[in-house]
Amino acid sequence: MTRPETRVAAPGSTVPYPVLDRVFFVVGGVSAVWLSSLLLQESFQWGWAQLWFLVVFWALLAYLVLPRLHRILTHVYVPDYFIGRARTSDGLLGDPVNVALLGSEPQLHAVMQAGGWTLADDVTLTSSRRIVVSTILRRSYLQAPVSPMFLFGRQQDFAYQQEIDGTPGKRHHVRFWRCPPGWLLPGGLAADWLAAGTYDRRVGLSLFTLQITHKIDGHTDGERDHIIGSIAQADTAAEVRIIRDFSAGYHTRNGGGDSIATDGDLPIVDLRRTAAPPTPSGPPSDSRDKRPAAIVVGAALAAARAAAAGLLALSLVIFPQEHIDALLLSGGAREPNGGLTSGQAGLIFTATVVAVVLFAGTELMLAWLVFLGRGRARTLTMVLSTVAIGLQAAAVLNGGPGITLRSNLPGLTIDILLVLALSSDRARTYALRAHKEPKRDSSRPGGRTPF
């Protein structure tokens, strides 16, 4: 009997990358390099505060410049199809995919919790602050978040962990991704979920980005076997099939620069006989529908730009005569037969106030629309920032005044950070998906939803 052909969708990004987004992506990367050089120059002008500038320079280099450069390069040389490795948010090859599973999401949650695993919190400002404090003070945080990794063009749907020694600095953890409908493993093997499990042994600096991150144990097969052992112990109905030499055994590094090694075997765990609550109605959840931090940051920066324009408008209204006098002086009113009249200066001043108020209102509206995930608002916001960055760069190249902290460096920083945030893959994907697909209706244990 001939087996029917199964059409397998590519597991990469499902949304095409517009040319304009590529431009913004590169502009963000180049601008970040420029900003880091400006901050480094400023650090030599402030004496005792030089250390703080160097810290800011490291943070900019580690969390913005190097990740964006890696993202640009990995778009070129990292294949966008399944090769048995997850990818970091910077596009680097991450942890090996070392477990496959069959079964529903409730069955998976049930067996993991029965096996002594704790569902990890999503990455938010609150959870990020809490894990930093818990790690430094060596306090327990059983639900500590894990960094996002990507498979099938989206970050993990959820993650589980087991804390060691009462601190999130050491822990077992495993990320889970739901496989796309109809997708098969190489060789035609079916799987509903793929997982990548590793053991965090300490906190350190990433070799590739200099970020503070967890350093993993290189023997990832040990963590794989620990996951399978805990599932088998929690549910005797679970069946495990080992696919020998599924991927070539390799010695290489993950996205944080840690050495990893595996024998290439892939266990497929069948949980379809596991007792679990009924599957919730509606389509399955998708991590791409969650509002990413990049959208929130981009909206906040646009709101900050609106606030700055609002303060300028307030200054114009409160101190009108000072601004009118400045216009008269700059226009040469004191020179005979030349310059602006008082009436002309008043008209220019009024037009300026109206323009600044309109700009502030427009920026505030754009900030709200960006937060809601509107694609056109996101694009227009990046256009405004790109134009502002370009004008300042052109002024410097044409011999204009330098950019310093006392002049226009704060405004330039806001524009560059805004382009970096909104041109990221996660911000782009959310903006393109937010109003084209229905909201997902799938709850998570403990009453948490993926939104």
Amino acid letter, residue 121:
D
Contacts of 19 (CB under 8 A, 6+ apart): none
Is the pLDDT confidence value at 444 over 50?
A: no
Closest alpha carbon to 421 in 371, 365, 387 = 371
Q: What's the DSSP call for residue 170?
A: E
Angle at 332 between CA 330 and CA 333, to 5 degrees: 110
CA distance 287 to 82: 18
pLDDT at 226: 95
- 310's tokens: 């609002």
Is the pLDDT confidence value at 404 over 80?
A: no
pLDDT at 210: 82
Q: Which of 3-17, 76-90, 411-425 has the least mean pLDDT?
A: 3-17
pLDDT at 293: 85
Q: Name 202's bridge partners.
A: 215
pLDDT at 445: 46
Asked if 262 and 220 count as a contact pair (C-beta separation under 8 A), the reply is yes
How many residues are listed for the chain in this entry?
A: 451
Closest alpha carbon to 444 in 64, 112, 144 = 112
CA distance 427 to 442: 22
In the chain, the percentage of residues whose pLDDT exceeds 70 is 83
Distance of CA 172 to the CA centre of its chain: 23
Asked if 282 and 442 count as a contact pair (C-beta separation under 8 A), the reply is yes
pLDDT at 436: 53
CA distance 218 to 193: 23
- At residue 449 the predicted structure's pLDDT band, cuts being 50, 70 and 90, is very low
pLDDT at 99: 95
pLDDT at 188: 87
Q: Which residues of 99-132 are buried (b: 16+ CB within 10 A; e: fewer)?
A: bbbbbbbbbbbbbbebbebbbbbbbeeebeebbe
Tens digits of residue pLDDT in 232-259? 999 988 999 999 888 766 668 877 778 8
Can you tell me the mean pLDDT for 119-134? 84
Is the pLDDT confidence value at 141 over 80?
A: yes
Distance of CA 156 to the CA centre of its chain: 13
56 burial level (CB within 10 Å; 0-12, 13-18, 19+): middle
- At residue 266 the predicted structure's pLDDT band, cuts being 50, 70 and 90, is very high
Domain ranges for the chain, please list them.
Answer: 84-280, 293-433
CA distance 394 to 384: 15
* Residue 310, H or E segment: helix 293-318
Is the pLDDT confidence value at 278 over 80?
A: no
- At residue 97 the predicted structure's pLDDT band, cuts being 50, 70 and 90, is very high
Can you tell me the mean pLDDT for 287-313? 87
Is the pLDDT confidence value at 431 over 60?
A: yes
Tens digits of residue pLDDT in 308-360? 888 888 887 787 777 666 766 765 544 444 566 777 767 777 888 888 889 88
Contacts of 341 (CB under 8 A, 6+ apart): 333
CA distance 404 to 44: 12
pLDDT at 426: 86
Q: Name 173's bridge partners.
A: 161, 198
Is the pLDDT confidence value at 47 over 50?
A: yes
pLDDT at 49: 58
Tens digits of residue pLDDT in 8-34? 344 444 444 578 888 899 999 999 999
CA distance 86 to 74: 13
- Tokens 């791409």 identify what position? 288
Tens digits of residue pLDDT in 189-217? 899 999 999 999 888 888 888 888 888 88
pLDDT at 331: 57
Can you tell me the mean pLDDT for 132-159? 88
- CA distances (Å), 411 to each of 253, 308, 389, in order? 39, 9, 9
**Residue 41 or residue 380, greater confidence:** 380
Mean pLDDT of the chain: 81
pLDDT at 282: 58
Strands 266-270, 99-102: pairing is: parallel
